[in-house]
Amino acid sequence: MHIADIIREDSPTFSFEFFPPKTPAAAETLYQTIRDLESYMPHFVSVTYGAGGSTRDLTHHLVERIQHTTKLDPIPHVTCVCHSEKEIEDILVRYAKSAIGNILALGGDRPHDIPYDKSRDSFQHAIDLVKFIRRFNESGAHPDPRGFGVGVAGFPEGHPATPNRLIEMDHFKAKVDAGADYIVTQLFFDNRDFFDFRERCALADIHVPIIAGIMPVTSMSGFRRIAELAGGARFPAKLLRALRRCENDPESVRRVGVHFALEQCHDLLDNNVAGIHFYTLNRSDATRVIFDSLGIPRRRNAQAPTV
C-alpha cells in the first residue's frame, strides 16, 4: 500500500529508519534491533543507501529480507549518486518483483572514499529520479497498477545547497509536482522550523503528507556527528544547556536527549503532524523509550510475513 494511503487511513504514522550493516556482528545487532521494534508495528521502516557498491548490495538484501521474513513494510532509499538509468531501472525491477510498495527518492550524499564526478550521473537532482520512477510506474512492471509510491526529502532548516529560500521552495515544489506522494524531513531540533516549513509548503500549494524526522541525541559523540549531517543542524540553546550540564555523564546525556526528543514528539502530535519518522542509528533503546512514553497503542492489523 502507498504510504500516502496509509496516512489518510491511520494518521499520525510512526516509522523507523535503519542503515545496512557492514559486518556480520553489525548485522546481528541490527536484526535484534529490528525484532525489538517489530513488536511496535511501525507503519513502515526505511533503509538507507550509500554511495559505494557493496553498501548498496547490503541495502537491497536487507530490504528484501525485511519484506519476506518480518511483518514490517520496508521503504528503500534510492539515490542519484553514481548511477546510470539502467542501474536504477534494474533496482526498480528487483523491488517490484519483491512487491516493495514505496521508494524514497533522494539526491544522495557525495561519496568521500571513492573518486566522484557528479557530471557523469544520469540523474543530477532528485527531481530527475522522481520523474524516472514515475515513467517506470507507467510501464506496468509493478504488481500494484499505480506502481511505487514515491517519497522525497524535505528540509525544515533549509536545503544546504540552496541558501536562497525562495528559490529553494521553487525547486522543492517542482520536485513534489514531478510525482511525490509524501515527504520525509531531515532531522531537526526546533519544532518551529518544522511548522514554518509545513506552512511554507501549504503556501506553495504543496499538499502531500509531511512526515517529521526525529533523531534523539544519545551520546556526545553522536551529538557532534549530527552537527555535521546535511550541512549542519541547528541546536536550540535549551538543548545545548542541558547537554553541557551532563556532558561527562553518558547516561545523563542519553536521558537528556531522549527527554528532549519526547517533548518534540508531544508537541508535533499536539499540532497534527502527519507522521513521525525515528532515525534509530540501528539501535532500539532510545526509540522504544520515546514510543512507550508517548502512550501510543500498538497496531494490530499488520499483515503476516510472506515467506
Q: Which residues are catalytic?
A: 17
Residues 6+ apart with CB under 8 A from 295: none
Residue of 9, 5, 10, 1 whose CA lies nearest to 296: 10
> Rounded CA gap, 212 and 187, in Å?
8
